[in-house]
Amino acid sequence: MTVNYFARYIGLTRGENLYRIKRGDNGISRDLADRIVSVFPEIDRVWLLTGVGRMLLSDNDRGEQIPYYDSELETTLADIDRIEPADHIYMPMINGCDLAIRTHSRAMCEPAWAAMDVFLKKIDVSQIILGGEYALVTQNCVTLRKVRAAGSNDSLRLVARNRDEYDDMTMRREQITEAWRVVAKLAIINN
């Protein structure tokens, strides 16, 4: 990769400062180190700034490993405490989640998507905010939906992304045994 290409790759408009750093005229600023690490999270920020330590971080140094379940959300989430994750993943741009899980739900996936991985954070039912997307567990079902207001304060209207094929559901807050806030989604596209 050329210096100019690298500059554009990390979001700089020009590579002039990088040429100066390469020649030894300038050192790396914190801002530049942050730009590099945001694009290349495997690079150690301390090493970039000081030259001390290792250039590449190990998986344990990079951050929190997210338990990943490759089984269907609707059949797995209610028993998540009894199931071992298939793997652990590291997603530097996704923070504050407890697990990632696969869903093929036609209610929440676009037609071109083969599936979707959702990154979830377990919350108290009282923390559900209208307009947000949640995976909700009750005695009778597990569902992934956008939450809207229903007729009364203790009821929620659950809305599917695919409104042509799926009707809204109504659920009382006291029916919910577990609530998981959707932190991020990763669509798996059909080829």
pLDDT by 10-residue block (mean), the chain, 191 residues = 86 90 88 87 82 74 77 91 88 82 88 88 93 94 93 88 91 94 88 57
Pairing of strands 99-103, 113-123: antiparallel
Tell me, what's the pLDDT at 134? 96
- In contact, 104 and 72? CB cutoff 8 Å: yes
Among the candidates 45, 62, 79, a domain finishes at: 62
Tell me, what's the pLDDT at 61? 54
CA atoms within 13 A on the CB side of 111: 4
The pair of structure tokens assigned to 98 is: 């407890």
Residue 98, domain CATH: 2.10.109.10
Residues 137 and 94 occupy one common structural domain: yes
Residues 138 and 92 occupy one common structural domain: yes
Residues 54 and 97 occupy one common structural domain: no
Tell me, what's the pLDDT at 48? 85
pTM of the model: 0.67
Residues 10 and 81 occupy one common structural domain: no
Pairing of strands 113-123, 133-138: unpaired
Domain with 49, as residue range(s), is: 3-62
Count of structural domains within the chain: 2
- In contact, 44 and 55? CB cutoff 8 Å: yes
Tell me, what's the pLDDT at 60? 56
Residues 44 and 75 occupy one common structural domain: no
Tell me, what's the pLDDT at 87? 85
Among the candidates 15, 35, 62, a domain finishes at: 62
Residues 83 and 44 occupy one common structural domain: no
Residues 50 and 144 occupy one common structural domain: no
Residues 108 and 23 occupy one common structural domain: no
